[in-house]
Structure 1
Amino acid sequence: MDFALSDEQEALAEAERAWLTKNDPIAARRPGIDDGPARTTPAGVRHLAESGLIGLLTSDMGGTHVDLAVLVEEHGRAGSPLPVAELAIAARLLEQLDHPAFGATESGAELVVPALASLENPAVHAQIDGGQLRLSGTTAPVTGLIDAHSILFVATTDTGTEAAAVVPVDAVSIRTLDTLDLTRSWSVADVDLTLEEGTWSALQPGTVTFVHDALATFRAMDALGAAARLVDMTVEYAGQRTQFDQPIASFQAIKHHCANMALSVEAARAALWAAAVALDGDDADTRTRAVSAAAAFTGDGASSTAQTALQVHGGIGFTWEHDVHLLIRRIKVDELLDGSVSYHRRRLAAA
């Protein structure tokens, strides 16, 4: 595949990185890191809305999944708590459904995040009885859920019909999870609802799988962003740290480590670009292969990059004050959610 980011996409990434540098999420998180999960901020949501990023995938904005991918990478790099991909995916679905919540969602007045069953241990059950939709069980972990106003449930019923419903968060039980990730909140929704006819919508066949694929792609892209920052931090540290009166970056073993890290990140980026391009295409089989190949390769590669970064940093990388452990924690959670490495390898083998 011949592919490169356009000048507009490069500018989009640079602008988002500039905003994130000015409003450093990790620096903002540090003072309250022991007080509870990371929260989205009004300023962050306002930035996403005013920049058109929540509605990026809508017809008016005309953005692509590649556009969203470059943004998600920047937020992963910065350790941002903002659920950029989730908000954009929800806005796109609400527009397709012509849902009344679309306008408030796109403007940032109401935060709506998608919730689905877990890929590997599905625990959400959906059943249509006459005109009613019955939802019960527990969703997969969702980032930003504790700050959302509503949840966009996307599910496959016992008969294979795909359905969606927007439900206020106070209609379900939200449980915030204690995870390794200190830069984002992760929660699940326990649901036991019967929705009357007219309060839920049938979806086009394949929509649930598409949303799973999109979330898996952007979860891996987030990990890529964190891994890319670790590469930069490691190269900078190796140039500053001296041993035997010379920078450790001059040692062949350290050079090999840094080269392997950089190679892993660039290869993963190429795979994820291919997955994002496939999300914008119409071939479901191609999308399945591209997404699972990218998610599996990136999950494994980002985790290895994180471990190598910690090894090169040595003792300082283990300290609470250094940012290395925050990015490693984020990568490890990304590796497990929206399909683990082993899940995507099995899916790819069966495709």
Structure 2
Amino acid sequence: MLGASGAVGQELLQLLDERQFPIAELRLLASARSAGQKQQWKGQELIVQEVSAAAFQGVDLVLASAGGSVSKQWRQAITDAGAVMVDNSSAFRMDEGVPLVVPEVNPDAAFSHQGVIANPNCTTILLSLALAPLAAKRPMRRVVVSTYQSASGAGARAMDELRDLSQVVLDGGTPESSVLPHSLAFNLFLHNSPLQANSYCEEEMKMVNETRKIMALPDLRFSATCVRVPVLRAHSEAVNVEFEQPFPVAEARALLAEAPGVELIDRSDENRFPMPTDVTGRDPVAVGRIRQDISEPNALEFWLCGDQIRKGAALNAIQIAELLIAA
């Protein structure tokens, strides 16, 4: 494993244990700065090793969650060693010949790899689980999404900062952020990834391009607005989907209730729909408030929540690995 000390790396270690992933030897690799640290896993103490080309010899699978620059640096050494890299960064997602995989949506794509399989962006993973069963029934014309993204998307330090600065506000102080560009304590702001030439930010364009690739719909009309909100680790999304023809709400609800990786929380009589607390620390993506768009007869609207660290990152990577070993 490359990058075990971060929030996603820690979740990967937990899930490898929980899901009883078959492992003969687990190597934890990191930069020289982190080498020598100790990690507890399944009752044993593992020593973090400094990453090197030699460290990949004899390895079958590398779960990489150390960032795009690290993945790019070690890709060749990993593939030269005969290992397959499941990469959680954005480094290779749109590369020709690198499959971008959500196992419940496009599992067959995983087997076209050339040594690297990309794990999609967290918001894309959560969205695709809800889109796929609907798109399989009726072709989609257009998708419009607004995301409400938790602090965990910016890493463990951002989560710690949200906790700390929330207490500062409660104590009457003025929060000053050093990890995020603005304090998230009792606040929200538009995603701070770099703006592109089209005035969409990088995070928004990740959703656009990755969803098109996963769904094999290169011309899908898609627009996204991404917002960072004061939630620790679960993302939420408001989704509007226009189809080629009307889509009865009852039919959509039934399809989503049976969809793999999806949990339906859609109790209109109680005004009870998915919340981040419903999915934190859990595998399913919760979907609800499925309704007819009153402005467009061919469109549906719905709301979803999913754990960003779990299904939005670590769990999806391990599910990809499980596909490979089951083949």
Question: So what's the TM-score if we normalise by structure 2?
Answer: 0.28
Question: So what's the TM-score if we normalise by structure 1?
Answer: 0.27
More strand by share: 2
For CA contacts below 8 A with separation 6 or more, give which structure has more relative contact order: 2
